[in-house]
Amino acid sequence: MQQPAAEPHSQVNGDLEVIAMKHTLGIIGGAGVAATNTLLELMEVAKLQDGAFRDMHHPEMIILQATQAPSRSMFLEGRGASYIEAYLEAIQKVRSAGATKIAMCCNTAHWGISTLEQKSGMPFINVIYEVLMLVKKTGKKNIGLLASDGCLKGRVYEQYFEKLLPDATLLYPSDQLQREITRGICNIKNKSRLLPEDHPDRPRNIFTRVTAKMFDSGADLLIIGCTDIRVDFKCAHTAIDSLEVLAQCILRDSENEQ
């Protein structure tokens, strides 16, 4: 039988290209499942655009879809059990598999990031902090926040604004608009996401209406503070999307460790 031809070595400046990862990232996903899948797709496409053409050009990661952890939002709303112990178990699983750093694909889960860091002893990528740093660079002062009910009740973003952007004004959706945001997030997780493009219950159409009203209410920048939203909606106006930020942070972190 004829043996396949050996793959030619890629060379850089005459030397064999060597890709060595100094650490392996563990991603605690499943919050939501589609958001985690979209995160991976965003990173994969970004690497292609950056010139990747082999599997080894992509960062090595361990992804755990921690779907059985209690709802972060319901816990912070006072309607459910704490997610902290389940997340600590998830962190231990990915650490046992070789992870040396953690990222969480959920804004609301960052309410407990200090506790999780302390109890697990693992370093984390903090997407809330990273979002705030990007907001700060824009110089914008009237910031609209789209997030889960639990994220708002737990003041996940507020504590960072108070420390890093005390002069900014956070603009919140009205109660009616927040109910629409919650409906849109829920519809990301169910078959409503598969509705026809122009259906009013399709999440992207819900969020198109919500973001327009937020800008009409005085926001000059929006934070898309729920990773689920990006699954079916990309804001066409001035916005910082937390899922896109997380993808950028993970890639930057992996490049810095090479």
Q: What is the pTM (predicted TM-score) of this model? A: 0.88
Read off the pLDDT of residues 43-70 as tens digits, 9 standing for 90 and up: 999 999 999 999 999 999 999 999 999 9
Can you say how many angstroms the Cα of residue 8 is from the centroid of all Cα atoms in its chain?
37
Tokens coding 57: 């050009």
Q: What is the pLDDT of residue 22?
A: 61
Q: What is the pLDDT of residue 246?
A: 98
Q: What is the pLDDT of residue 17?
A: 42
What sections of 83-200 are H helices per DSSP? 84-96, 113-120, 127-138, 149-153, 158-164, 175-188
Per-position pLDDT tens, the chain of length 258: 444 334 433 333 444 343 444 679 999 999 899 999 999 999 999 999 999 999 999 999 999 999 999 999 999 999 999 999 999 999 999 999 999 999 999 999 999 999 999 999 999 999 999 999 999 999 999 999 999 999 999 999 999 999 999 999 999 999 999 999 999 999 999 999 999 999 999 999 999 999 999 999 999 999 999 999 999 999 878 999 999 999 999 999 888 765
State the SS3 of 217-250.
CCCCEEEECCCCHHHCCCCCCCEEEHHHHHHHHH
Give the CA count within 13 Å in the CB-facing half-sphere of 132. Answer: 20
Q: What is the pLDDT of residue 42?
A: 97
Q: What is the pLDDT of residue 91?
A: 98
Q: How many CB atoms lie within 10 A of CB 13?
A: 5
The CA-based angle 233-234-238, given to 5 degrees, is 135
Burial class (CB in 10 A: 0-12, 13-18, 19+), 20: exposed
